[in-house]
A and B are shown apart, each in its own frame.
Chain A
């Protein structure tokens, strides 16, 4: 039996899509599995007793979608192989969990050591795990991150706005929101329309850090159009109109936001570092922080192939199953 734990669904991010993509792919393959209630950073009152009541066998596999979940400490002595997927790492200085000061609570090093196998969503992710925890290096395998492209299919025919540049990264410090505003200001001056698409409302964002409210005001002043999307559908239909999507991120293991933009036909502009070279053509990459290069790439609009098929849910779940020996 495979015990699978995904994520809580959230309108503002990718978590629900991940869980659905994995369960769909497992069902398609008729792999028997038992889905456990999620225990991630969004969980309140986790059903601890329910986890503890599960009886497993040594031939079973536990697959935890968020490897740093506290559940691993609860099930560590239960029979069966433990496999965890890493999608972020507090060993990295600008990981959101670090900036939210959750680093100590996650006990990352101790929890990761409890897994028999650690799956990394990207080669960059694997490198980070191995550098931070070299003693775990022989347990780490790169699988990718499963994306269900069928979700976006009906938006692919949306006509593009040729002058629309979109930022769809989280409006947060680790995505260098201040630099996003500087880039947007320059783009607006050059005649581009620039939008920031968010699954989190401005009010909710403003509660996350004192500076967010003033930065959103600054964004408005320079003509960066902040668009809150109440539903994923609204978000996807707006994203589909963008011709170019820019990221200024300083912390990403594999951003599904950029991958979905590419699938919808936008030209990506991303830093030549971290995970980006794994799925963005080299001609669409800029030297990190180089605003002039970002502007030049937006003007040049290099149309290239970007290898995002590797993240198709079927491909990635196949990788998961291979690594789990199922």
Chain B
């Protein structure tokens, strides 16, 4: 039996795509599994886990490796696997910059195997926790291109550039505002796509709030999306998508942009060289180079087939069966 501890799905996170892809794959493979959504209070979640009677040949699979519930799962029979998305091992992990301690090393120790988004993630973990190196498996993120493409609009808006990263320090929001000003001066329209709760988040951080106001003042349009479908439609209008990220283990936003026909531009750093052609990359954080790329955008196709759910989960099963 496989026990799938699935993270809460919200419009502003990627767990819906992850959870749904995994459920489909498990059904496809006719794997006997029990879906345990981690909702409600943490106490309720612990009780739910505590009530499960498992055997040593069972598998626990958590959609979020950092979830502290692993400390309770660890006491149960069965092998433990999980997917690690962001990483405290990164210098600029957003949760850490916001003051949270993810207790990553402690959590990761409890797993038999941890799936990660990229070679970059694996290297970060290997550098920070060399003793865990053998348990790390690069699987990629199960990215459902069809679900994204279903919302694609037929036409693009001329000269429209999108930022769809989080508006926060880990994405270097200060550079985004500076770059947006340059782009707007050069005649481009620039929008920042975000879920509604991001605006609340921005208003809770003094620096982000000040930069948000400066962005607005300089013509950066913040487009708030209530649903993922609305977000995909808006993103599909963009001709170019740019990220100024300083912390990413893959960048779902960049995969979404590439799927929706926008030309992604990203720093020549981190996970980006693993799936973006060199011509889409700029030396971090060279704004002049970004401006040059925007004025003459690369036309080559971005192939993100390696993140197709069936490819990602094939790696999962290969590893889980080996164990």
Contact = CB atoms under 8 A, between A and B. Distances in A.
**A and B pair up:** yes
Interface of A: 93-94, 98-101, 103, 173-174, 176, 178-179, 181-182, 185, 209-211, 213-215, 218, 221-222, 250, 287-292
Nearest to A178: B246
Contacts of B96: 214
B289 to A, nearest CB: 8
A221 B91 contact: yes
Q: Is the interface of A mostly helix, strand, loop or mixed?
A: helix
A209 B174 contact: no
B92 interface: yes
Contacts of A287: 286, 288
B58 to A, nearest CB: 37
B171 to A, nearest CB: 10
Interface of B: 91-92, 96-99, 169, 172, 174-175, 177-178, 181, 205-207, 209-211, 214, 217-218, 246, 283-288
18 contacts: A93-B181, A93-B211, A93-B218, A99-B206, A100-B210, A173-B207, A174-B174, A176-B175, A178-B92, A210-B98, A210-B205, A214-B97, A214-B99, A218-B91, A221-B91, A289-B287, A290-B283, A291-B283
Q: Is the interface of B mostly helix, strand, loop or mixed?
A: helix
B83 to A, nearest CB: 24
A101 B285 contact: no
Given A178-B169, A214-B97, A214-B99, A99 B210 contact: yes
A287 B292 CA distance: 14
A214 B92 CA distance: 8
Contacts of A182: 91, 246, 284
A291 B285 contact: yes
B285 A215 contact: no
A221 B129 CA distance: 13
Given A93-B177, A101-B210, 8 more contacts: A93-B181, A99-B206, A100-B210, A176-B175, A210-B98, A211-B98, A221-B91, A288-B288
B97 A289 contact: no
Contacts of A211: 97-98, 169, 207
A215 B217 CA distance: 28
Contacts, number: 81
Contacts of B209: 101
A287 B246 CA distance: 19
B223 to A, nearest CB: 20
Given A178-B246, A214-B96, A214-B97, A289 B210 contact: no
Given A93-B218, A101-B209, A173 B91 contact: no
Contacts of A99: 206-207, 210-211
Contacts of A93: 177-178, 181, 211, 214, 217-218
B207 A289 contact: no
A176 B173 CA distance: 11
Q: Select the residue from B175, B207, B288 with max chain A CB neighbours within 10 A.
A: B207
A213 B285 contact: no
A99 B214 CA distance: 9
A98 B210 contact: yes
Q: Select the residue from A93, A101, A181, A287 with max chain B CB neighbours within 10 A.
A: A93
A210 B97 CA distance: 7
A209 B206 contact: yes
Contacts of B286: 287-290
Contacts of A291: 283-285
A297 to B, nearest CB: 14
Nearest to A206: B99
A218 B99 contact: no
A98 B214 contact: yes
Nearest to A221: B91
Contact of B284 (A214, A222, A289): A289
B72 to A, nearest CB: 27
A105 to B, nearest CB: 13
Nearest to A210: B99
